[in-house]
Structure 1
Amino acid sequence: MKWTVSWLLWLMLSTSQTWAAGEAAADQDESDADAKETVAELIEGDQHYPGLFSFYRDTETGDTTLLLKPEQLNQEFIYFIHIANGIVDAGSFRGAYGPRFVFTIERRFDEVAIVRQNTAFYFDPENAISGAAEANIARAVLAVQPILAEDEETGELLIETDSLFLSESFSQLTPTPNPDADPKTQFTLGGLDKDKSQIVALRSYPENTDIEVEYAFFNAAPLVSGSDAVTDSRHIAIRAMHSLIEMPKNDYQPRYADARLGSFNQQITDLTSTEVAPYRDVINRWHLVKKDPSAALSEPVEPITYWIENTTPLAWRSMIRSAALEWNKAFEKAGFRNAVEVKIQPDDADWEAGDLRYNVLRWTSSPNPPFGGYGPSFANPRTGQLLGADIMLEFSFLNRSTLARELIQGESVSTTPALWPSDHHCGVSHVLGLGGAFAELAVKAAGGSAKIEEQLTRDRLYYLILHEIGHTLGMNHNMKATQLLSRDQISDPSVKATGILAGSVMDYPAVNFAETEAEQTLFYTIAPGPYDDWYIEYAYSTALADAPAEAARLAEIAARSSEPQLVFGNDADDMRYPGSGLDPRVNIYDLSSDSIGYAAEHMALMQTTLNKMAVWSPNDGASYQEAVEGAALIIRLWGTSAGVISRWVGGVYVDRSVAGQADATEPFIPVERVQQKRAMAALADHLFAPNAF
């Protein structure tokens, strides 16, 4: 009995204490809720960056927050990243374009998630299977951020953003190591050091918000110290620009790609189609609209505008502008007057070249140039509408020092970025560098004048600018374009008036060098060719309102692909490497419709130049460096010419025409026996003979 009473007393006491504790906890929770800081309190005194996304920054700590509007939830935006400043050793460089994708911001109770959307597939909404459109297609949850506060009146949500941007949530920045590489030869960044990383700048505009971040990496014991451009291999800093972009709201109409023309595309597969090739790829192009739709020739509502960065050498600005404006000739044939504008960035401009609202021709002089020229662009992944572009130009293009390092030390000046493999990688500056260097050497050996040297500089620079701008207009390479003219035609003085040696400026041509100054015509093409005109017509001519009629119109334009001046073959088709490609007409370092004859002629010219170099004597006190570089250059180009000839042996002509197309040939035709034997004879004379070199 005593035990029972004691037990009851203990139970009553403990229960009352539990109730009291529960009441206290509830009161505390209510008190904490009442004490939770509001949005206004959290951002009080912070610097405000209003725009598409409203950012705030604590002026003492530098901490950043983002105030999301209710209407920004579950809406699609575009993300884009590029390198503001990098280090080539680590696979990054100024101007390198990174991933671009569609993302949404979704609320999850007391958090928001940043979710990358998959845009690679299409489902016909009229097909019942479209109801399973998300099956086995993974979204990517990039980050989840806690909600710091919610405005009860407006519904706005405040989230912390330092952890979002001082990490690799949006994009990978640490290069993936090559598992097959020797660790003793591979430069490594180490790990991302968030404590040393910082948000450098915030800029917000009505249609985009930019966040510039300096990422610090630390490697305690690096095996490779890197180049002289690496100040301390343990500590590396890379600056990247994140851009959050509003999904364009306009009447832009996507235009479908055609395999007979070379365009950069947004690749989309129709998973409700029964076609053998179920693709709905849309080409990348600018939103170019006529001011006067009824006029055959009209200025655009908004031209494609390029800015020459104020870092550009003064002596070249006029030449660069003139070269870029040559593209207006092609646009005029498509119905647009002054479609391309070129302006010069003022020295006191209040905007930076990295601002995606401006398309900029940028100049740098890097210790280890990754290119001489590079023309990237980025587009809306949903439609292909181009939203921004830059043209990166290196002083090394006209500076022989990096070329000399490649020739003597075997180090390539043209490398593919290791961080973000790019579909816009371009090596034309490297090809022009080798060809131009040989032309300079040959001009000197022949006692050429300063006038011919000036023309060589002009032709090279014109071609580089035309080529890279072509990329920013949505064009990929056409390595078949040099087939346009015969050997006699490229030597005819009339080409000076047309400015054209090839069907397109999107090829990697050999230099057109004559034996004497009097015979010299153009070194390189300096105006858009017939293929370029045709491409611009397909990509930019005004669409018809009726969809079936528009499809028929585009098909009619594309059907001209069988015309000889419009031949096309891109990087996937070319035969630059042994074992790649089939058609010997699709190649680099070649020129004219007789690439065998031109290459053999070029090798003979190189032999003549080498013989003249043999009697050179440097001035007293000077080194023999020029002679060494010249000999190495000739040996290098001798090999490329031999490679061009060799591809004709066993080659197969390829025709991209569709079945039933007028003037089309069979898809695959073996190279004529006589041409194959001619190629073998040229190799025997210029490569295998005892006195060939």
Structure 2
Amino acid sequence: MQGFAQKLPSISEKTANLKKYEGFMPFYWDEDSGKIWLEISSLNQDFLYVSSLPAGLGSNDIGLDRGLLGDEKVVFFNKVGRKIMLIQPNLRYRAITNDANEKRAIEQSFAQSTLWGFTVEAEENGKYLVDATDFLMNDPMGISDRLKDSKQGSYAPDKSRSAMYLARTKNFPLNSEFEVTLTFTGGSDAGNFVKSVTPSSDAITLRVHHSFVQLPDNQYEKRVFDPRSSFNALGYMDYATPVSEPIEKYFIIRHRLKKKDQTAKISEAVKPIVYYLDNGTPEPIRSALMDGTAWWNQAFEAAGYKNAFQVKLLPDDADPMDCRYNVINWVHRSTRGWSYGASVTDPRTGEIIKGHVSLGSLRVRQDYLIAQGLLSPFENGQKLDPEKDPMLKMALARLRQLAAHEVGHTLGLMHNYTASINSRASVMDYPHPSVKLDAKGEVDLSDAYAVGIGEWDKVSIAYGYQDFPKGTDEKVALNKILKDSHDKGLLFLTDQDARSAGSVSPTAHLWDGGKNPIDELENLMKVREKGLKSFGEKTIKTGVPMAFLEDALVPLYNIHRYQIEAVSKLVGSMDYHYAVRGDGQFSTKAVSKETQQKALETALKCLSADFLTLPENIISLIPPRPAGYMSSRELFKKRTGLAFDPLAAAESATDFPLQFLFHPERASRMIEYEARNGGLGLEEMITQVLDKTFKTTKNQGLNRKVQFQTEQIVLTHLMALSTNEAANYQVKAVCGKALKELKAYLEETKKTAKDADYQAHLDYALERMKNPSAAKVAVHKELPPGAPIGCGEED
């Protein structure tokens, strides 16, 4: 006897007693079972799926922050029998053509991804009802993997401790929003980062958000990416491209913005770009963030718009994860961490649908602490009037700049690390506070951070958002914007040019300052000297443990750290542009030997014992941290137990610039550049380093011990470079020769050395030189973090 398939109930029957949420994708809430039933009416039609984390873990090191966005995915539903698949097509490989067969060939050549499979439980008039609960309760943010990869424990979602979060589960005409409280259990091997931020490490309860969003219409106009602009790019391969043209296609990522009147020099926008600040942000921080964000309107005005960029306070009834809102979140973590600007972008076109900024709340306290160490302002030990507090003024000035910077990322912009030499021409640089000594020799923070948008930022916005009148040759007009900026001397280089210790650019550096890196290092050395002379009890308020002086001493002692990095990188550097044929820019240019020599001489001043040795009046003031107070990675690393360790402080400050000077890539370039154009040679550099360390007159006391330590650290770097396989053969040959000559010098010096400690120092160096391959630079104490702590970088 032949069986018959059981007829499914209608949707009306199945959902008779359930609460319906009308909107983009209708869904139903079953109070009794705790289930979400999703109504699917559109098959094989693309929409956007985004996951996010509205309630986070609070650990910089793990990175599961409140407001964290997952990857956006173009997806569609495909039905086979009673099964409906959620499928993600592969948009990295396309065929932009009207030929269906050509498109099919591409689709069949590269894999798609099936993200989930649902079972149809009811149907009615071409609509299908599925239980979406298990899908919503899964781990789309990869939380389990993130915890495991960071060695924080083996966790998995526990459905018995998870549930829908109805307060943030809503439906709208163009987007459907779902949120769940998701608990991860396990954790028998929980790591310290998890333990530090959870009440019980065996259960981590977070919230995960899912957004189904209608894709934008096809009226958005893509704009071609140009490497000389500072826009991020959407890239894919178009296999329908003629063989004579590049198969890789690149378009800039940006918001949609059009003038109401294209012919007008200044026009309102058809739809302005509006950003909403987290309403949980306190004053005076709230006002500072509103001010800094609003700076961008200056750039849009320069591009011909009136009031096209706006910033408002997030309404109380708005959900910051809702894709309809561009938001600036004020995020709390256990330690200071990165701020970053992310976005939800249409993967088909590069159109930004949602700008999403996360600002770490503890950064402002670090900026305050930097100013506190520089000024030592508590003459009477009392709290200062907020209206007159110079530290607060500087910290808020930094927040304005930070807000503008991170919002800039969500407008589509990359970092520009050359802005500092162009009078702070971009908020997309990492700015060091501009500190100087006034006419009286006092530390002056009045111009610590620039105010307003930079000249390069105006160029960027003009390139990305200028709405040209009909009939304009857009390619010609865009090229003119970039060429005019080049003619004005405005420069652009970004992360790839600045972050590596071996990076080649002489102008792209993180957190450097000044038009001339060498001059600014000289300035900061004077500022540091003044700050250390003033440092003492008046650096902290009455009633604060004296041990807390170390917190303020760290950023003061290392105030030069980023500037010496910039100066050290001038050695073995090469100037270059992102030039394209016909634009008039040079491709590469040698940095003069004179500039490299001056940079080296200035950097070596920071390796002198006088510079590195802390005075006795500071050392004697700092006791061990009192019981009851947590220790911190923000303090100097120590080899002396609880006691303050001035030698370890000097050790880390010595090791830092040597990481750049003795980097194998830099050393290999120095060999090449000396041969090609007479640049500063590696052998010359090593000789000067040894002359300023091993071959200087020896001092007494702690200063003498710092000298010995510095020499041993230099020896470590020289030996390590001599055996580094990343360096070319000639580098190793030059280092081997230098080691041989140094050995002879030390042996000769030992013959006349009279005191036992110098003899011991020389014996130890000579013993180490017997086995250069054993030299490991990682044995040196590292600097306390200057950059924010954390797992990622989008500061």
TM-score, normalised relative to structure 2: 0.71
| 1:261 corresponds to which of 229, 238, 243 | 229
> Are the counterparts in 1 of residues 75 and 87 from structure 2 also a CA contact under 8 Å?
yes
Alpha carbons of 1:480 and 1:73: their partners in 2 closer, same or farther (altered >3 Å)? same
Partners of 2:443 and 2:373 in 1: CA distance: 17
The 2-side partners of 1:137 and 1:320 are apart by 45
Secondary structure of the residue that 2:143 maps to in structure 1? Answer: coil
In the alignment, is residue 461 of structure 1 matched against residue 461 of structure 2?
no
Show structure 1 runs of 4+ deviating over 6 A: 446-449, 617-620
Q: In the alignment, what sits opposite 2:49?
A: 79
Q: Could you tell me which residue of structure 2 aligns to residue 279 of structure 1? A: 248
What is the match of residue 38 of structure 2? Answer: 66
> Cα gap change, 1:520/1:627 in structure 2, threshold over 3 Å: closer, same or farther?
closer
1:527-538 equivalences under 5 Å are 527-538=452-463
Which of 555, 562, 586 in structure 1 is aligned with 2:486? 562
CA positional deviation for 1:187: 0.9
Alignment counterpart, residue 249 of structure 1, candidates 214, 217, 221: 217
User: Could you tell me whether the CA contact under 8 Å between 2:147 and 2:154 is conserved in 1?
Assistant: no
Structure 1 residue 342: deviation in Å? 1.8
Partner of 2:137: 166
From 250, 270, 294, the equivalent of 1:301 is 270
Deviation at 1:343, TM superposition (A): 1.8
Residue 136 (structure 1) aligns with:
109
Q: In 2, are the aligned partners of 1:600 and 1:686 still within 8 Å (CA)? A: no
* Change in CA separation of 1:566 and 1:123 when aligned onto 2, cut-off 3 Å: farther
Aligned partner (choices 574, 593, 596) of residue 676 of structure 1: 596
Give the counterpart letter for 1:464 in structure 2. Answer: L
Provide the C-alpha distance between the structure 1 equivalents of 2:405 and 2:487, rounded to a whole number of angstroms: 22
Structure 2 counterparts to residues 643-662 of structure 1, below 5 A:
643-662=565-584
Distance 1:381 1:366 in 2: 31
The alpha-carbon deviation at position 164 of structure 1 amounts to 1.6
The answer for the alignment partner of 2:514 in structure 1 is 592
Give the drift of 1:460.
1.0
The count of aligned residue pairs is 597
Alignment-mate amino acid for residue 106 of structure 2: A
Q: 1:544 offset after TM fit, Å?
A: 4.9
- Equivalent residue, structure 2, for 1:477: 415
Contact 1:189–1:236 under 8 Å retained in 2: no
Tell whether 2:414 aligns with 1:503: no
Q: How far 1:105 moved relative to its partner?
A: 0.6
CA 616–255 in structure 1, closer or farther in 2 if over 3 Å, else same: same
Deviates further, 192-201 or 210-219: 192-201
Contact map agreement 1:77 1:103 (CA 8 A) in 2: yes
Tell me how far 1:444 sits from its aligned partner: 2.9
Equivalent-residue separation in structure 1 for 2:431 and 2:486 (angstroms): 22
Secondary structure of 1:134's match?
helix
Cα deviation per residue 1:369-397 (whole Å; 9 max; x = unaligned)?
543x3222111111111111222223312
Identify the residue that residue 651 of structure 2 maps to in structure 1.
none
Q: Please say if 1:381 is aligned against 2:342.
A: no
Matches within 5 A, 1:5-20: none
**TM-score, normalised relative to structure 1:** 0.81
Amino acid at match of 1:553: A
Contact 2:377 2:539 in 1 (8 A): no
- Which one of the candidate residues 190, 202, 205 is aligned to 1:234? 202
CA shift in 2, pair 1:228/1:160, >3 Å: same
**Secondary structure of the residue that 2:607 maps to in structure 1?**
helix
1:444 aligns with 2:444: no
SS at match of 2:354: strand
In 1, Cα distance between equivalents of 2:148 and 2:403:
34
Q: 1:113 aligns with which of 75, 85, 88?
A: 85
Aligned mates of 1:251, 1:535 — CA distance in 2: 23
1:362 offset after TM fit, Å? 2.3
Answering whether residue 327 of structure 2 is matched by residue 395 of structure 1, we say no
Q: Does residue 1:193 correspond to 2:158, yes or no?
A: yes
Measured in 2, the distance between the counterparts of 1:146 and 1:620 equals: 68
Of the three residues 347, 352, 356, the one matched with 2:319 is 352
Counterpart AA for 1:685: K
* Distance change >3 Å, CA 625–CA 160, structure 1 → 2: same
8 Å contact from structure 2 (residues 373, 556) kept in 1? no
SS in 1 for 2:264: coil
Question: Any gaps of 5 or more consecutive residues in structure 1?
Answer: 1-21, 401-432, 486-501
Return the letter of the residue paired with 1:595: P
Structure 2 counterpart of 1:215: 182
Q: Percent identity?
A: 25
Q: Which residue is equivalent to 2:764? A: none
Q: Give the CA deviation at 1:176.
A: 4.8
Post-superposition Cα deviations, 1:331-389, rounded to whole Å, max 9, x if no partner, equal: 1111101011122234xx32223322122222243334543x32221111111111112
Structure 2 segments unaligned to the other structure (5+ residues): 614-795
Separation of aligned partners in 2, 1:126 and 1:352: 40
Deviations 1:8-54 (A, max 9, x none): xxxxxxxxxxxxxx2xx64xx47x53xx4221111111011111001
Amino acid of the structure 2 residue aligned with 1:444? S
Taking only aligned residues, the RMSD between alpha carbons, in angstroms, comes to 2.6
The Cα shift of 1:511 comes to 1.0
Change (3 A) 1:231 1:622: closer
State the alpha-carbon separation in 2 of the partners of residues 614 and 210 from structure 1. 55
